[in-house]
Amino acid sequence: MALDPRNPDPGYLAFWRERHVCTLTTLRPDGTPHVVPVGVTYDPEAGLARIIASGHSRKVAHVRAASTSADGARVAVCQMAGKRWATLEGTARVRTEPELIADAERRYAERYEREPRPNPHRVLIEIMITRAMGRA
C-alpha cells in the first residue's frame, strides 16, 4: 500500500520507531542489487531516512558511484516483523559534514537504544524519500 512519506499514518510511523534491523538496497555498477543489513532512522517531517556507515563500505561506494547523476543514487530501505513491513524508496547521497553525522548518530542511538561504536571514517547516507509503502 502506497503512503505519503511526509505524512505517514500513526501505525506506520510507530513501526519505524520500533527497534528493527533494516535492509538497504543499492545498485552495483553492473546494475545488480546489493542488499545489506543496516540501522535506519526515518524523519518524515524532513522527508529523509538516514544511515550511518563506514566511508570504506561497499554500500557507500555504490551510492557515491551512482550519485554522479543530478538525482543521486536510487535506493530502498526495508524492515519487517511478522506480517508487518515498511519500505522507503528514494535518492541517496553520501554526506560528510560533522554536524549531520552527529545528528544521525543521535537519532540512531535513540531508535536502537545504544550508542554507535566509534568510527573515525563514519559518513552519513542521506535518503530523500520519494515513496513509502507497507503494512504496519
**Predicted confidence (pLDDT) per residue in 58-91, tens digit:** 999 999 998 766 678 999 999 999 999 999 999 9
CB 64 within 8 A of CB 52: no
The whole-number pLDDT of residue 68 equals 67
Q: What are the beta bridge partners of residue 55?
A: none
CB 40 within 8 A of CB 86: no
The whole-number pLDDT of residue 69 equals 62
The whole-number pLDDT of residue 5 equals 93
| pTM for the whole structure | 0.95
What is the maximum alpha-carbon separation in the chain? 40
Whether the per-residue pLDDT at 39 is higher than 80: the answer is yes
Q: How confident is the model at residue 100 (pLDDT cuts 50, 70, 90)?
A: very high
